[in-house]
Structure 1
Amino acid sequence: MRKFVLAVAAIALATTAAFADVITDRQAVMKENARQVGTLVKMVKGESAFDAAAVLAALTALNDNVQKIDVAASFPAGSDQGDTTASPKIWEDAAGFQAEVDKFKAVTASAVAAPAQDLDALKAQVGTIGQTCGTCHEAFRVKKG
């Protein structure tokens, strides 16, 4: 009986650790997305000069990262527990969440296909990207504080 209890405890610990890795991985993806968008926002705000090559680099990095998002792998059942701001709505409305991720993939792919060549075009692209992020965050992320 003691061996059984230890085995169950070991499995539970391993499962918790696995979910911690999934959470850490998806948080890293989101932080990298924010970093790339931040590069673009600095140009929009006039904090850095418009640079078409830097725009393309940031959009490409963002798109590459977004295209790798695999909802099933990044948000498995049970990974709503722990240090995460992922809303339970992700698991309650998996199809809706997948649709938002798919929208984000389409928006970033479109941006890379036709990157902004001037500040006004960049403002429009950043607005579309930001709106897509915001819509998903409103529905599928728990606000901190």
Structure 2
Amino acid sequence: MRKLVCVAALFLASGGLAHADVVADRQAIMKGIGQSVRTIAPMVKGEKPFEAGAASDALSKLNEYAQKIDVEALFPKGSDTGDTTASPRIWEDMPGFKAKTDKFKADVAAAVAANPHDLDALKTQFQAISSNCSGCHQDFRIKKN
């Protein structure tokens, strides 16, 4: 009986660790996305001068992170607990969440392909990207206090 309890405890602990890993993985991706956005947003807002190379690099990095978002792998059932701001709505409306994620990935890839060489072009591309971010955060993220 004691062995059974130990095996069950290890099984449950490994499942909890697996979910902790996906939470950490998706948080790392979101932090990378945020870092790229923090490079581009000040240019778009006129707070920093436009630099085509920096914008292109940030868009490329943003695309690398965006393409790593695998909804099935990063948001398995049960990974909505612990240190996460993922809303339960993700699991209640997984098709809607996946659609928003797919649109974000496509818009970021399109921005990279457009390779904006001036501020106006960057603003157009970034507007599409940032509307995805805010829409998804509004619908599928718990607001921090």
The alignment's TM-score, normalised by the length of structure 2, stands at: 0.95
Q: Which stretch of the first structure deviates more once superposed, 121-130 or 106-115?
A: 121-130
Q: Which stretch of the first structure deviates more once superposed, 44-53 or 58-67?
A: 44-53
C-alpha distance in 2 between matches for 1:7 and 1:143: 38
Report deviation, 1:114.
0.6
Give the equivalent residue in structure 2 for 1:101.
101
C-alpha distance in 2 between matches for 1:105 and 1:45: 23
Q: Which stretch of the first structure deviates more once superposed, 28-37 or 10-19?
A: 10-19
- 1:15 partner letter: G
Give the equivalent residue in structure 2 for 1:138.
138
C-alpha distance in 2 between matches for 1:115 and 1:142: 33
**What secondary structure is seen at the aligned counterpart in 1 of 2:87?**
coil
Instruction: Structure 2 unaligned segments of length 5 or more: list them.
Output: none
* Aligned 8 A contact 2:29 2:68 in 1: no
C-alpha distance in 2 between matches for 1:56 and 1:19: 34
- CA RMSD in angstroms comes to 1.1
2:37 is equivalent to residue 37 of structure 1: yes
Question: Over residues 110-129 of structure 1, what are the superposed CA-to-partner deviations in whole Å (9 max), with x where a residue is unaligned?
Answer: 10111222222222222221
Instruction: Structure 1 unaligned segments of length 5 or more: list them.
Output: none
C-alpha distance in 1 between matches for 2:96 and 2:105: 14
The alignment's TM-score, normalised by the length of structure 1, stands at: 0.95
Q: Count the aligned residue pairs.
A: 145
Report deviation, 1:48.
2.4
Identity among equivalent pairs (%): 54
